[in-house]
Structures are given as C-alpha cells and as structure tokens.
Amino acid sequence: MEWTGEGLLIGVRRHGETSLIAEAMVVGRGRWLGLVRGGRAPKTAAIFQPGNTVQLVWRARLEDHLGTFTTELLTARAADLIADRTRLYASQLICELLHLLPERDPHDRLLGMALTLLDTAPDGAAIARFELAVLDELGFGLDLTACAATGVTTDLTHVSPKSGRAVSRAAAQPYLDRLLPLAACLTHRGNASPDDIANAFKLTGHFLDMHVWGPRDIAAPSVRDALIASLTRHDH
C-alpha cells in the first residue's frame, strides 16, 4: 500500500531511540499517523514541528498497519509561530482540536480552516468558529439559526446549554440564569469585542466538554485558557 499527499503536521512523539511517529491532517485522507525512521536526527528536527505543512509518502504492507512516512517540507511555520506567543497558543489549540477527529476520516473543511488560521494573525472569533465547526463535524453541531421556543430567526441572543439550540431575546427573558449568551461573532463576521470573544469560547467550551472532552475523560487543552486570556485582553 502506498499514497502521496500533502499534510499539516499536528503532532509528533518519540519512538525508540532514533525514530518518531508523526501525526498529520492529510488532504482527502484526514488524520493519519506514520513512523518516520531516523526522524529524530538533528538535521530533520526543524521539519517535524506541529504547524508545518509537508509532502508525505505513506507506505505499509497492509492498509490497517501504522506504516511509514517519508517527508518533504513544503511550508515552514513553526519558527514564526514560536516567535509570537499568541500565535503559538493558537496553533497548539488548533492541533489539539484536530487530534479529536477520528483517524483516516477526511475533514478537508476543517483542514482548510486550520491552515487559514495558522497563516493569519490570531483572530479569537475565527478560532471560536473553528471550535464550532469541530463540534459540527464530530456530529454535535449547534442550531444557531432559529429560536428553539418560537422559531423566529432574528434577535437570537442565547443558547440552551442542554440542546445547543438558539433562543431569542424575548423567549430567553424568564430563563436568563440558565442560558448561555450567544456571542454575535459566532454567527456574524466583523470586529468582535473581548467580551464577545470570551462568550464565544465559553459557549464552544461548554459543548466540547459536554460532548467530547467529558465523555472521553480528557481535559480541555491546557493552552486554551492561556489563549483565551491573550485574545480577550481589553488592550488587545
């Protein structure tokens, strides 16, 4: 078995004394792992960094084997990411979120969004929308298009923490203490205030914890809080 494709490195771990296992999001193939023999050599250290895009050749005797990767660096982002703390936090969170996807299941929409985020200045609203898209592609998408109580499609201000459905301002009034604010930046483009970004991450974090992190008994990425703090500073 053999294929060639372009992939975003999202994780690397040591294997034995000289090799490593690389994890990449590959166009048309999804999250894929492969053994890189000799990948820990000093001359290749700069290649195998999360956030870089590489050309991959995967080979295995059988399709369900781990297989091996041979690689060629296409886009080196890691050095630039390390130089900017907020960009580094963002890239680490994006890679952690992509790691939640099932292996070998194509998610090219998320890959495209991730690459755009990695190649632009950190945008809190866009990263929160990425979390929303991850929920959607994992099968836990929120319905933010119409009020769960009345069906109206305008003036949606809150979300039910149980159903993930939007609630209009009027319908939300008796239940404000039980509902989550619907950050405008999740449904509308444009400049977002620090408070709006914070509310967006509160919303996506609630449903990621309810549907993904909690059931899998894993913690939210530790870098997430640091990224949110950086993105929601009022002097940002």
Domains and CATH numbers, the chain: 2-78 (2.40.50.140), 123-231 (no CATH)
Q: Note the pLDDT of residue 105.
A: 97
Q: Note the pLDDT of residue 224.
A: 98
Q: Is 193 exposed, middle or buried (0-12, 13-18, 19+ CB in 10 A)?
A: middle
> Which residue matches tokens 């949606």?
156
Q: Note the pLDDT of residue 235.
A: 55
The pTM (predicted TM-score) of the whole model is 0.94
- Return d(Cα 146, Cα 199) in angstroms, integer: 19
For residue 123, give every residue at least 6 positions away whose Cβ sits within 8 Å of its Cβ, in sequence order, or none: 117
3-state DSSP of 24-74: EEECCCEEEEEEECCCCCHHHCCCCCCCCEEEEEEECCCCCCCCEEEEEEE
Average pLDDT of span 61-73:
93
64 has pLDDT over 90? no
Average pLDDT of span 176-204:
94
Residue 167 near residue 179 (C-beta atoms within 8 A): yes
